[in-house]
């Protein structure tokens, strides 16, 4: 039999009145409480990390849609406007390109705004 089994602790009387607790039981209780605290801390940290991860993903996707809106504006709206100003032939197709560029820019920017501002 190990020597530690014969050692008894006398805890504070306010916690355990009139009882002797074996050291093994006392250490086991401390271990259980410690593990419970670690599990609770892990759950809290996991939830916090998940919120941070969701926030980062939301910001990245929102920025992506804003970049798409900027690209649509640059490619379609500016290109169509320059073609119309310089008097290129087929003005109707360039006017359509200008309108499609404006609509797509507004749509993509709205999607990016919605993603960034809503959960």
pLDDT category at 99 given cuts 50, 70, 90 is confident
Can you give the residue ranges of every domain in the chain?
3-117
Distances (CA, A) of 67 to 6, 17, 42: 72, 69, 37
pLDDT value at position 5? 47
Average pLDDT over residues 3-27: 55
- The predicted-structure confidence for 31-83, as pLDDT tens digits, reads as follows 777 777 777 777 777 777 888 888 888 999 999 999 999 998 888 888 888 88
109's tokens: 């920017």
Show Cβ contacts of residue 9 under 8 Å, excluding neighbours closer than 6 positions.
20, 21, 22, 23, 26
Average pLDDT over residues 95-117: 89
């Amino acid at each position: 039999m190990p020597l530690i089994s014969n050692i008894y602790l006398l805890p504070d009387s306010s916690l355990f009145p009139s009882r002797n607790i074996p050291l093994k039981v006392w250490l086991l209780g401390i271990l259980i409480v410690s593990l419970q605290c670690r599990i609770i801390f892990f759950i809290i940290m996991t939830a916090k990390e998940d919120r941070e991860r969701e926030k980062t993903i939301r910001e990245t996707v929102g920025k992506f849609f804003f970049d798409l809106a900027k690209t649509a504006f640059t490619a379609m709206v500016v290109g169509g406007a320059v073609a119309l100003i310089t008097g290129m032939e087929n003005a109707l197709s360039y006017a359509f390109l200008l309108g499609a560029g404006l609509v797509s820019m507004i749509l993509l920017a709205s999607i990016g705004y919605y993603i960034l501002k809503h959960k």
